[in-house]
Amino acid sequence: MNIFEKATREKFRYPSAKGQLTTEQLWELPLTAKSGFSLDEVAKAVNAELKAVDTESFVATETNPAKATLETKLEIVKHVIAVRIADDRAAKAAAANKLEKEKLLEILGRKQDAALENLTEAELLARINNL
């Protein structure tokens, strides 16, 4: 079963500074924030819960059933963080490419204007008559 399918079927909730969040709400959180309401803080809270459940025992052989759920929750939060970081990087790269393209088009326009300036009077008249 896909981790997101499991999250929706089991109605996972994640701790945050403003209360419990659904899996869908994770996508709306900022990566970091000074207010403490961020994906980073949610990941830290889930990780702390996981560490609290994961107590080491040399006698008990069965694992706590909450451990698997918390591991899946942490995996989901990490996935959302990774996707959001990739999206941010892609948006920054697209913005940089757009800026460079605009700059290159501006330079190309100036060069084309300069090439027209260098045409002789006869060449200019011939081009005007062709229009």
Rounded alpha-carbon distances, angstroms, from residue 125 to 3, 109, 112, 129, 131: 71, 21, 17, 6, 10
The alpha carbon of 104 is separated from its chain's Cα centroid by a whole number of angstroms, namely 28
User: Is residue 43 within a helix (H) or strand (E), and if so which, with residue range?
Assistant: helix 39-53
Q: Cβ of 40: how many Cβ atoms within 10 Å?
A: 15
pLDDT of residue 24: 95
CA atoms of 117 and 128, how far apart (whole Å): 14
Longest dimension (CA), the chain: 99
Closest CA to 48 of 79, 16, 86: 16
Given a cut of 80, whether residue 55 has pLDDT beyond it is no
Q: Specify the higher pLDDT residue, 131 or 21.
A: 21
pLDDT at 116: 85
Average pLDDT of the chain, as a whole number: 91
Please state, for a pLDDT cut of 90, what percent of the chain lies above it: 69
pLDDT of residue 65: 81
The pLDDT value given to residue 107? 95
pLDDT at res. 13: 95
Whether the predicted pLDDT of 58 surpasses 90: no
Q: What is the pTM of this model?
A: 0.77
